[in-house]
A = this chain, B = another copy of it.
Amino acid sequence: MADIAAELSGIVGAEYLLAGDAIGEDYAHDEALSSEPVKPAFVARPGNAQQVAQLLKAASELGVPVTARGSGSGMSGAARPRENGLLISFERMSAILEIDTENHVAVVQPGVSLEDLDAELAKHGLVYPVYPGELSASVGGNVGTNAGGMRAIKYGVTRNNVLGLEAALPTGELIRTGGKFVKTSTGYDLTQLIIGSEGTLALATEAILKVQPRMPHQGTVLAPFVDLDEVARAVPKVVSSGVGPLILEYIDGLTMGAITYRAQLQLGVPDEVREKSHAYLVVQLESRSADRLEEDVAEVGELLAGLGAMDVYVLDGSAANKLIDAREKAFWAAKEAGADDIIDTVIPRASLPQFMERVRAIAQENNTFVIGCGHAGDGNVHLAVLQKDHEVRDRVLHDLFEAGINLGGAISGEHGIGRKHTERFLALTDPAKVDLMRRIKTAFDPAGILNPGVLFD
């Protein structure tokens, strides 16, 4: 171990290699619930891409497992280290290298937080539109999990907004993929392959992000419906209208209660409506023109009223921000409420009612409490599972995932598989696909050092 420490600290410098008691608690976990923290043998904090590549090369030679960490805000344990392993923390590589207003891209290091990036882009009237709930999340972590968020209905997810990467391979090379352009057909798209690979193929050391003009005006409509079926029926009509919503979320009645209570939020929904409504639809619009926004908001309001909404509330800016913010923090509300697990199955959005019917049945069969909200426009359902018994909870998660897959969905829309769901992923995925993915993994990482236990056992 002393030899390994010497080699690693020779790469990053002694002050940037931690071992033993010098390793703080924070490095031992991400935000995956019901996961035991694990302190790694080493934490390296590289200062540049070359050091990352050298660390990987050394780890490959020494057979040391490597886990990458951005801000540690992941939900599936993909940043939870191995006891005998090396954690590479990107905290020192957090620079915004360039905001290129001619090509509409930002070039950043992986450790930069979405919050810092947004503050800088705002100065240029630009926005990087990927908004997962947690703004302390790092771009590198977002690349790892292919993070999504509420604006995916309009702008897509991480993979739709990252144009290129610099990445360190486990074999020690640094490669550049993609570039400051939105299209290329020049060999395999390594950018897209690395995005969402949860630190198992290569580590991004730089990212070229597509940025957009920042729209100055936003408007939000809140519509309570009797149930989720009605919400699901309304969603395609909103999309078909061509109004191009920025956000299209559903929140079930219980979750709405929890998040508004937690945020002390008054939305003006009268008691008699609240009592009868089991599902809310939140539609946020944006526009470069205040007049057009007002027209669009009115149009959506009328459309929803015609589609069975019990009422339609146009939220003022402050209430809207608070609601969106509260929705973004639904995870924390669930955590405080004692959630033992959070999942984010994705299904074709029209199958939302059928899926939720299965969810209710699975919850009932297993005497488990399951509540949620989700990205109605994307079919991405976030569910909090409250069940202390480990075995029962395992069965519930398995059955929920299976229900999603049977409806043409997938285990995770944006959180990733991580250490948490790898076993279920392997059990529920076509073996031909798993084998192929394993061969791709080996093509990148012949020594198998990158995040063992994630995606493969």
A interface with B by C-beta (< 8 Å): 100-105, 125, 145-148, 152-153, 156-157, 159-160, 169, 171, 173, 175-177, 179-190, 192-193, 195-198, 201, 213, 215, 236, 239-243, 288, 292, 346-350, 378-380, 408-417, 425, 429-430, 432-434, 436-437, 439-440, 442-444, 455
Contacts beyond the supplied A101-B240, A169-B432, A439-B443: 19 A-B pairs with Cβ under 8 Å: A100-B348, A105-B348, A148-B183, A159-B189, A160-B160, A171-B432, A177-B433, A179-B348, A180-B348, A180-B408, A181-B380, A183-B413, A185-B417, A187-B437, A192-B192, A193-B193, A439-B444, A440-B443, A443-B443
Q: Which 3 A-B pairs have the closest CB atoms?
A: A439-B443, A102-B350, A192-B192
The CA-CA distance from A436 to B440 in the complex, in Å, is 10
The answer to whether A181 touches B416 (Cβ under 8 A) is no
> Among A100, A181, A429, which residue has the most Cβ atoms of chain B within 10 A?
A181
Q: How far in angstroms is the closest Cβ of chain B from A294?
A: 13
Pick the contact of A436: B160, B190, B415, B439 (CB < 8 A).
B190
Q: Which residues of B contact A190 (CB under 8 A)?
A: 433, 436-437
Residues of chain B with a CB closer than 8 A to A146's CB: 183-185, 189
B187 and A193 contacting across the interface, CB-CB below 8 Å: no
**Complex: A164 Cα to B100 Cα, angstroms:** 33
Name the prevailing secondary structure of the A interface residues.
loop
Asked if B182 and A157 sit within 8 Å, CB to CB, the answer is yes
Q: Are B215 and A414 in contact (CB under 8 A)?
A: no
Pairwise interchain contact A417-B145, C-beta atoms closer than 8 A:
no
- Across-interface contacts of A184 in B (CB, < 8 A): 146, 346, 410, 412-413
- Also in contact, A185 and B443, with CB within 8 A (given A175-B430, A236-B103, A350-B103): no
Alpha-carbon gap, A443 to B347, bound state (A): 29
**Measured between C-beta atoms, what is the minimum distance from A141 to chain B in Å?**
12
Choose one: B160, B193, B292, B436; the contact of A175 (CB below 8 Å). Answer: B436
Contact of A429 among B187, B196, B198 (CB under 8 A): B187
A271 to chain B, nearest CB (A): 33
* Pair A432/B181 contact, Cβ less than 8 Å: no
Min CB gap A12→B, angstroms: 22
Given A241-B213, A350-B102, A443-B442: A181 and B125 interface contact (C-beta under 8 Å): no
Please state if A432 and B175 are interface contacts (CB–CB under 8 Å): yes
Closest to A348 in B: B180
Contacts of A349 in B (CB 8 A): 102-103, 181
| A373 CB, min distance to chain B CBs, angstroms | 16
Give A163's nearest chain B residue, CB to CB. Answer: B348
A307 to chain B, nearest CB (A): 13
Q: Check A410–B181 contact: CB distance below 8 A.
A: yes
Contact A239–B183 (Cβ < 8 Å): no
Q: Which residues of chain B come closer than 8 Å to A185, judged between CB atoms?
A: 145-148, 196, 198, 412-417
Given contacts A181-B347, A410-B179, contact A197 B186 (CB under 8 A): no
8 Å CB contact of A183 from B100, B157, B241, B350? B157
Closest B residue by C-beta to A144? B185
Write out the residue numbers on chain B whose beta carbons fall within 8 Å of the beta carbon of A159.
189, 192
Interchain CB contact (< 8 A) of A417 among B153, B186, B430:
B186
Contacts of A347 in B (CB 8 A): 181
A159, A242, A378: most-surrounded residue (chain B CB, <10 A): A242
Measured CB to CB, the closest approach of chain B to A146, in angstroms, equals 4
Given A436-B443, A443-B439, residue A189 in contact with residue B195 (CB < 8 A): yes
CB-CB under 8 A for A430 and B176, given A288-B242, A380-B181: yes
CA distance A176 to B433 in the complex (A): 8
Which partner residue on chain B sits nearest A125 by CB separation?
B240
Residue of B nearest to A152 (CB): B183
Residues of chain B within 8 A (CB-CB) of A414 are: 183, 185
Other-chain residue from B105, B192, B239, B410 in contact with A193 (beta carbon distance below 8 A): B192
- A183 and B103 contacting across the interface, CB-CB below 8 Å: no
Q: Can you list 26 A-B contacts (CB < 8 A)?
A: A100-B348, A103-B349, A125-B240, A146-B183, A152-B183, A160-B160, A180-B379, A181-B349, A181-B378, A181-B380, A181-B410, A183-B413, A183-B414, A185-B416, A185-B417, A186-B410, A187-B425, A187-B437, A188-B201, A189-B193, A190-B436, A190-B437, A215-B242, A243-B288, A436-B444, A442-B443
